[in-house]
Structure formats: C-alpha cells, structure tokens
C-alpha cells in the first residue's frame, strides 16, 4: 500500500523547522583526492565515511528521509577503472553496513535502473532492502544508476503497461510510479563541490525544494556543514506560488 503524501503542486505541504527529507548530490570526491595528490578513488573512500556521519547526523536532528546521489546514469561515461572501483566500494559498503543500518532502525532503499548492475550487487541490494524493510527511524535512499529523466520515463512506461488504452496519467499516478513513492518530496537539496546544477538528479521531485549549494567538497562535509544548510533552510519562506502575505496569514 502506497502512503499518500502531499504533492507541492496539488496541495500546499506543511513546512517543518527540520526538513523531513534531505536530498544530497555528494560531489567533489575526485577534486578532494587530486588536491592531496591521491588517486580519485581515495576521495570516494573518504566519501563513504561522510555518508556514515551524515546518516548519524540526520537521525540526531530528526530528519526522516535522506536521499543520496551515489552514481548517476551518466557516470558510466567515466574511465572503466573508476567505474569498477565505485562498484567495488558500493558492494563493500552494502556487505559491511546493512547490519548496522538494521540495528540503528534505518530502512535502506536503492533507487535507479538496477538492471545494469551485476547479479551479485543486485542480490546484495535486494537483501539489504529486505532486511531493513520494517525500520522507520530514518529512510536512507541511495540513488544508483539513477537519472531524473530515466525516473520519469520509467514511471510513464510502467503506468502505460498497467493501463493500456486511452486513460490519462495524472499527478497521483505519476508520483506512485516514480522511484520514491515512499517519501515526501525533498524539502532541502544540498550539492557539495561548488557546482550549481542538478545533473539529472530528482527532476520531478525537486519542483519546490529549497536548493543549497556549498563549495565544500563531499569528503570534507561535516555535521556543522549540515547544520549550516538546515539553518539556511529555516530562513527561507516557502511560498509554493502564494504571496508572502498569504504565507504569513496561514
């Protein structure tokens, strides 16, 4: 059963002081390593450490959903060696961390086009999700071989297959078929590494998300940095199309 969430375009969602859902593009691993004359993969290894810290920090702050962009549908364009290293790290992280996630009440979700991954990785993903499925302290979603355009096309095609004929797709049907039907739309988006772009992350879901960009490279991202982003978020007025006066009367 899919829980019904407010959609920022069909309804006006409540904005809590602490963002319920944070989505992060973890960028800058390669540059972090290069600055230290280390191979790019050393930056990815440090990056995994920051994932661990950020999950913990989100739990402590009462964030309910954390979605992390780990590998984009365009990252296959990287040198074969780097892609293989990233896959190895992903496998290692799943093997080592799932039990800890389970103990800490964290539900793990992996979203993206998983068919391109090898069978061992796909099995680890299935096991990790199954073992943590009943946890509800934090939902940690890892976007892997994910692309926003893939997500939208996949939703439309899945829906079309279920609804042959002349039915028209509406927002509720779209939301239910996208990769994150279990989560509300992100309240806060963070991109580290200095670039101010979306890079094909959650194109549909970011419609009314507050966008925060920091020059900090992902391997240097800390709980203090997370707090700065949350403080910035708390100063935004989320109008969802209304006037400022309307928001204050509400």
Binding site for ligand IPE (CB under 6 A): 25-31, 69-72, 75, 86, 193, 195, 197, 199
Least distance in Å: CB of 30 to ligand IPE?
A: 3
Q: Which residue from 209, 221, 222 is spatially nearest to 19, judged by alpha carbons?
A: 209
29 is catalytic: no
Contact partner at residue 31 from Mg ion, ligand IPE, none, CB < 5 to 8 Å by partner kind: ligand IPE
187 is catalytic: no
d(CA 135, CA 129): 10
Contact partner at residue 71 from ligand IPE, Mg ion, none, CB < 5 to 8 Å by partner kind: ligand IPE
Least distance in Å: CB of 211 to Mg ion?
A: 17
Q: Which is nearer to Mg ion, 7 or 145 (CB)?
A: 145
Instruction: Please spell the DSSP secondary structure of the chain, one letter per residue.
Output: -PPP---TTTS-----SS-SEEEEE---HHHHHHHTT--HHHHHHHHHHHHHHHHHHHHHHT--EEEEEEEETTGGGS-HHHHHHHHHHHHHHHHHHHHHHHHTTEEEEEES-GGGS-HHHHHHHHHHHHHHTT--SEEEEEEEEE-HHHHHHHHHHHHHHHS-SS----HHHHHHHSS-TTSPPPSEEEE-SS----TTSSTTTTTT-EEEE--S-GGG--HHHHHHHHHHHHT----TTS-HHHHHH-
Contact partner at residue 64 from Mg ion, ligand IPE, none, CB < 5 to 8 Å by partner kind: none
Q: Which residue from 190, 187, 202 is spatially nearest to 229, judged by alpha carbons?
A: 190
Contact partner at residue 29 from ligand IPE, Mg ion, none, CB < 5 to 8 Å by partner kind: ligand IPE
Q: Which is nearer to Mg ion, 25 or 188 (CB)?
A: 25
* Number of Cβ atoms within 10 Å of the Cβ of 244: 9
Q: Which is nearer to Mg ion, 19 or 30 (CB)?
A: 30
Least distance in Å: CB of 86 to ligand IPE?
A: 6
d(CA 45, CA 50): 9
Least distance in Å: CB of 166 to ligand IPE?
A: 38
Least distance in Å: CB of 193 to Mg ion?
A: 6
Q: Which is nearer to ligand IPE, 56 or 199 (CB)?
A: 199
Which of the residues 53, 75, 154, 220 is marked catalytic?
Answer: 75
Q: Is 192 in the site for Mg ion (CB under 5 A)?
A: no
Q: Which is nearer to ligand IPE, 85 or 107 (CB)?
A: 85
Which of the residues 11, 27, 127, 170 is marked catalytic?
Answer: 27
Task: Show contacts with Mg ion in window 15-54 (CB under 5 A).
Answer: 27
Interacting residues toward Mg ion by CB under 5 A: 27
Catalytically active residues, by annotation: 27, 75
């Amino acid at each position: 059963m899919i829980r019904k969430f407010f959609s920022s375009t069909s309804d006006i969602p409540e904005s809590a002081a602490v963002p319920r859902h944070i989505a992060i593009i973890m960028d800058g691993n390669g540059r972090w390593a290069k600055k230290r004359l280390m191979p790019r993969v050393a930056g990815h290894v440090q990056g995994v450490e920051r994932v661990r810290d950020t999950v913990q920090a989100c739990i402590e702050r009462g964030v309910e959903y954390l979605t992390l962009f780990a590998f984009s549908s365009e990252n296959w364009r990287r040198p074969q060696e780097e892609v293989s290293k990233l896959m190895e790290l992903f496998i290692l992280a799943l093997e080592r961390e799932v039990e800890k996630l389970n103990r800490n009440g964290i539900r793990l979700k992996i979203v993206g086009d998983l068919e391109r991954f090898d069978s061992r990785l796909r099995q680890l993903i299935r096991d990790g999700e199954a073992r943590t499925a009943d946890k509800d302290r934090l939902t940690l979603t890892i976007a892997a071989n994910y692309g926003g355009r893939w997500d939208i096309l996949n939703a439309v095609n899945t829906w079309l297959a279920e609804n042959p004929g002349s039915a028209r797709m509406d927002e509720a049907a779209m939301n239910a078929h996208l990769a994150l039907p279990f989560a509300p739309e992100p309240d806060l988006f963070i991109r580290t590494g200095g670039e101010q772009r979306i890079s094909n992350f959650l194109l549909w879901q970011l419609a009314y998300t507050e966008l925060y960009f920091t020059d900090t490279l992902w391997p240097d991202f800390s709980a203090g940095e997370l707090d700065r982003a949350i403080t910035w978020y708390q100063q935004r007025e989320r109008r969802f199309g209304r006037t400022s006066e309307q928001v204050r009367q509400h």
